[in-house]
Amino acid sequence: MSALPVLLAAVLRVGVTLHPYYSWVSNVGGNAAIAIPIVPPGADPHSFQPRPEDLATVESLDAVVENGLGHDTFLEPMLKAAGRERLPRLTPNKNVPLLPGASGGANSHSFLSITAASQQIQSLAKELGRLDPVHADLYADNARAYVKRLRSLLADALRRLEGKDLSRVRIATVHDGYGYLFSELGLRVDAVVQARHGVEPSARQLADTIERIKAARVNLLFTELGLERSYVDTIEKESGCRLRRLTHIAGGPYTPERFEKDMKANLDAIVDGVSAAEAGP
Amino acid sequence: MKSAGRRVRPPSASREALGVGAAIAAVLLLGAVRVATLPRAGSDGAPQGAAPLVLTASDQVVYQSLLVAVDSVMSQRKRTGAWPDVPALAGEEVPPFAPALLPAAARGLVWTATANGTAADYAGVDPAGRRTAFLLRVKEREKGASAEVWFRKGGTASVAGAYPVREGWFELVALDGDTGPRP
């Protein structure tokens, strides 16, 4: 649905389906647009079941930011149930070059990248400006300043990776959501040892995972924050590879700073892990 | 990976307007003037004959950086009234014009800017002619701007002219993973 200008009583209320979108709208919207989470803090977007009060939230929106690539499949049924099928959709993924997903279709984690996020933030600012032309310049300026800050995070990580012998580093991740991030750092993911996150492995799957890590001669494995500790410890002990943890920025509190903070943590974890793996055993 | 069938898994997926390029080239033999009126990859989202393409990870980074850079180009254009040159964009730390903002493998292209009224070309070529060459073409519109990213796989040391397709360049259009064009 195209984003047509809307009549605004005061501040634009923009629904968001994912934590990164909350941060983006908050930073771009300033005082003219506020981000409204559709998924309550602490709920998992992968298994979200809307409650009546969540439908009431949707009813109050002027627009909604959607991933549209499989990360927020709960949205359309919610809009239908709330009688808001015609709610303007902001689709920052439009025109973003996407990686293929592990199970077909597109990799929906395009928000886990500074460059792809920057493109989406710019797109978001334009779409907000179309909805609310009075504040179009504000959105554009805010997006520009935000992208500049994000870019400095990437620049810092690239600087710290400078001169590393990456041929000594073989990387695996526990799911394919981080492909965008590794790509912009010039790093190759040699193996994805678990295609779906949030899935508790059986003992057999765990043994299989360890075998795959060994077979791929991986010496650096990126797991996820929140993954079962015993699972991670077993992999580390049995495979002998270094472990670092990443976050795909889901669950927990919604804050304007969350995306920057978590992406910095991800970049730091990657640089630290690569440095350690490159240095040898 | 080379793509005889052009249906390969990327590090990144984009669309190469291969068939469209061929069609335009054929029409060019009859009259270049029609180029401006031909539907081209990116103008309607679903050009016939376009083929999926594998971009290397490095090319993917350059491609996406160019898409993001358009905002900085237009911002400077609006602020100064002139199209920014490459040093001006590099000075604002805008990749790919600022190489430090790219992974090492994606560096090495030499960027030049050519402005012509309401349009500007930003071309990145490898002087040795080996690396994939890129062209960002930005056109000022009544409201905002439009942008095209062209590339020439296999490299060239020459900057593209007015009709890149005639010189073996292809326009890149973002593709929805391996599922085909998005509406």
Which chain B residues are Cβ-neighbours of A115 within 8 angstroms?
61, 64-65, 68, 95
**Residue closest to B10 by CA, chosen among B43, B56, B51, B41:** B56
> Three-state secondary structure along A155-200?
HHHHHHHCCCCHHHCCEEECCHHHHHHHHHCCCCEEEECCCCCCCC
Inspect the interface and report whether the beta carbons of A100 and B101 lie closer than 8 Å.
no
Residues forming beta bridges with residue B15, ordered by sequence position: B52, B173
Least confident of A132-141, A196-205, B118-127: A196-205
- For A163-184, write each residue's pLDDT tens digit: 999 988 999 888 788 989 999 9
- What HEC string does A24-90 produce? HHHHHHCCCEEEEECCCCCCCCCCCCCCHHHHHHHHCCCEEECCCCCCCCCHHHHHHHCCCCCCCEE
Rounded to an integer, the average pLDDT of B60-81 is: 93
**Contact check, Cβ <8 Å, A147/B71:** yes
Whole-structure pTM over 0.80, yes or no? yes
Angle at A150 between CA A147 and CA A153, to 5 degrees: 155
**How confident is the model at residue A4, as a pLDDT?**
52
Q: Is the peptide bond before B96 cis (omega within 30 degrees of 0)?
A: yes
What are the tens digits of pLDDT across the range B104-149? 999 999 999 999 999 999 999 998 888 889 999 999 988 888 999 8
Contact A90, A127 (CB under 8 A): yes
User: For B104, which of A119, A144, A186 is closest by C-beta distance?
Assistant: A186
Cβ of A98 within 8 Å of Cβ of B104? The answer is no
HSE toward the beta carbon, residue B171, CA cutoff 13 A: 24
> Any CB–CB contact under 8 A between A162 and chain B?
yes
Specify the pLDDT at position B167.
78
A99 at the B interface (CB within 8 A)?
Answer: yes
Q: Model ipTM?
A: 0.87
Q: Which residue in this structure is represented by tokens 């040699």?
A: A190
Q: How far is B101 from chain A (nearest CA, A)?
A: 5
Chain A residues with beta carbon closer than 8 angstroms to that of B97 = none
Distance, in Å, from the CA atom of A232 to the CA atom of A244, rounded to the nearest integer, reads: 10
Nearest by CB to B177, which of A98, A152, A155? A98
Indicate if the pLDDT at residue A259 is higher than 90: yes
Which of A67-81, A130-144, A193-207 tops mean pLDDT?
Answer: A130-144
Model confidence over A53-78: pLDDT tens digits? Answer: 889 999 999 999 999 888 898 999 99
Nearest to A94 by CA among A128, A114, A119: A119
**Closest approach of A206 to chain B, Cα-based (Å):** 27
Q: Which of A184-188, A194-198, B179-183 has the highest mean predicted lDDT (pLDDT)?
A: A184-188
Mean pLDDT, residues A238-243 taken together: 88
| CA A28 – CA A79 distance, rounded (Å) | 24
B72 contacts chain A (CB < 8 A): yes
Instruction: Choose between A228 and B159: higher pLDDT.
Output: B159
Per residue in B23-58, is it b (16+ CB within 10 Å) or e — as a string? bbeebbeeeeeebeeeebbbeeeebeebbbbbbbbb
CA-CA distances (angstroms) from residue B128 to A1, B7, B110? 46, 29, 10
Residue A195: pLDDT above 50? no
- DSSP E strands in B20-96: the ranges are 51-55
- Cβ proximity of A73 and A24 under 8 Å: no
Cβ atoms A28, A145 nearer than 8 A: no
**B44 in contact with A at a CB cutoff of 8 Å?**
no
Average pLDDT over residues A213-228: 83
Statement: residue B150 has pLDDT above 70? yes
